[in-house]
Structure 1
Amino acid sequence: MHNTLNLAAPPKANPWKELKTLSIIIPAYNEEKTITQILDKIRSVLLIRDIEKEIIIINDCSGDNTEQLILEYMNLYKEIRIKYHALPVNSGKGAAIQAGILLATGEYLIIQDADLEYDPFEYNVLLKPIVHGFADVVYGSRFMGGSPHRILFFWHTLGNRILTFFANMFANLNLTDMETGYKLFRTDVIQRLYLEEKRFGFEPEVTLKMSRIRDLRIYEVGISYYGRTYKEGKKINWKDGVRTVWCIIKYGLLSSRHLKQEATVKTKQVSQL
């Protein structure tokens, strides 16, 4: 049975007055080809309402020069708020995101892949429903609107739509893109979620657990998408799709826990992930 604890604060007349900082979580694994480029893009973005940026990079035990490039960038641009944490072992994208969530101090946070598939210049598109007081969570959909999309694989698109359909069925939502990499959350809400998935199962888990929070306002906006091929470094495969199906069943039917214990929220450290 779903817990109906209401974590969503009532709408405010001027919500942007409370939104001073956006935390940007970058899970990175062997991204030496693109990590500097994505940081340059983020640095160049001017957020609406003069919102500041807090960049949080979680290195998932990369075996290439990702760490060296990050440290060099931090030394070169000392005026930028960058937090860096290296996981001791390769733990997966979900584990890296969880580590970043614990480090976030902004009122809202967004997940940014390091591979250039998602464009940081669209942060403001996702922020608009927030600053206008409509939303607590915003998903960036690759299947809405007229923004540019690289044409890639039919079966990936079909699989995404099927997975989104089943997630919607269990969550009682009408999302068009559950698997999107662009998800913007209220930090105080997502830090209360009990998250378990260490790899690509994070997407269905967070969606289904968010859906259990009464009165949480979830919005979708259209975004562009510059997808990679496997040759260019795309990491997700059919096994991750199977895992996603299992996660939808697990968190939609079998598991009722979606919130941390209060003491856990206050004391859990990144090193425990």
Structure 2
Amino acid sequence: MIQKLSIVVPAYNEGRTIHLILEKIAAVKLVNDIEKEVILVNDCSKDDTEAAVFRFMAEHPELNLQYHQHAVNAGKGAALHTGIGKATGEYLIIQDADLEYDPDEYNHLLVPIIKGFADVVYGSRFMGSNPHRILFFWHSIGNKFLTFLSNFFTNLNLTDMETCYKLFDTQQVQSLNLVEKRFGFEPEVTAKIARIKGIRIYEVGISYYGRTYEEGKKIGWRDGVRAIYCILKYGLFRAK
């Protein structure tokens, strides 16, 4: 039985909108009265992210929110390592600090877990009839190619390996030796979680409210190249 869900939020230069995503998380009522634990890791932001978080914490003391600050900018993966290590819930989900993913959909991802079918649930932007902002053609092609390549080595049939919304059994993900500091986290954790004997991985359709680069999107083509490298490293060569 799930009593607590840990929500890990990596943040870098999200001072303009961080309070909005925290308000959405605070407003969500989880099924079966599951408690929320929010672990926000500020990856040495250069803007007023920290001040915005502190203002929110003062205004919303009812939310179980832990705040951690990196002394130097280490990357999204490094922030996730910190957050995963601090999690105390039976399950945890990753939540980007921008507004691209909707916390109202946590309950959709929890359903296969609660019903006893799944150990891990990925939220797919490419299945179902959920709202999906129309943006970059080559990004969508790149995402599908990376998912295909990852599936080739993991023998999974995911539709969206690069999704932010990944819901894990906390003990299982904490048992992994995760080393990628930036956006290589996604293919690394997918490859390593797929190796766990008997692991049951599900997907559910989610909404996607994507951002343009002018609106703050950070991932670029170099991260795609790194993702290919990580897929080969952890899939073909099975690096630990």
Asked if residue 116 in structure 1 is aligned to residue 99 in structure 2, the reply is: yes
Cα displacement (A) at 1:143: 0.3
Distance 2:94 2:239 in 1: 25
Does structure 1 conserve the Cα–Cα contact (< 8 Å) formed by 2:10 and 2:80?
Answer: yes
* Residue pairs, 1:248-263, within 5 angstroms: 248-257=231-240
Distance 1:252 1:151 in 2: 31
Asked if residue 35 in structure 1 is aligned to residue 18 in structure 2, the reply is: yes
SS of 1:199's partner is coil
Distance 1:163 1:193 in 2: 22
SS of 1:97's partner is helix
Q: Which residue number corresponds to residue 211 of structure 1?
A: 194
Q: Which residue number corresponds to residue 50 of structure 1?
A: 33
**Count of residue pairs the alignment pairs up:** 240
Letter in 1 for 2:63: I
Q: Deviation digits for residues 103-141 of structure 1, max 9, x if unmatched?
A: 000000000001100000000000000000000000000
Q: Which residue number corresponds to residue 229 of structure 2?
A: 246
Distance 1:237 1:22 in 2: 31
Does structure 1 conserve the Cα–Cα contact (< 8 Å) formed by 2:233 and 2:239?
Answer: no
Gaps of 5+ in 1: 1-17, 258-273
TM-score, normalization by structure 2: 0.99
Distance 2:17 2:24 in 1: 11
* Residue pairs, 1:104-253, within 5 angstroms: 104-253=87-236
Which of the pair has more CA radius of gyration? Answer: 1
Distance 1:254 1:175 in 2: 20
Q: Which residue number corresponds to residue 83 of structure 1?
A: 66
Q: Which residue number corresponds to residue 4 of structure 2?
A: 21
SS of 1:78's partner is coil
Gaps of 5+ in 2: none
TM-score, normalization by structure 1: 0.87
Distance 2:184 2:219 in 1: 11
Distance 1:211 1:24 in 2: 22
Q: Which residue number corresponds to residue 263 of structure 1?
A: none
Q: Structure 1 stretch 116-125 or stretch 248-257: which is displaced more?
A: 248-257
Cα displacement (A) at 1:256: 4.0
Distance 1:79 1:116 in 2: 22
Point out 4+ residue stretches in structure 1 off by more than 3 angstroms: none
Cα displacement (A) at 1:255: 3.3
Distance 2:101 2:225 in 1: 24
Distance 1:166 1:211 in 2: 14
Distance 1:211 1:217 in 2: 9
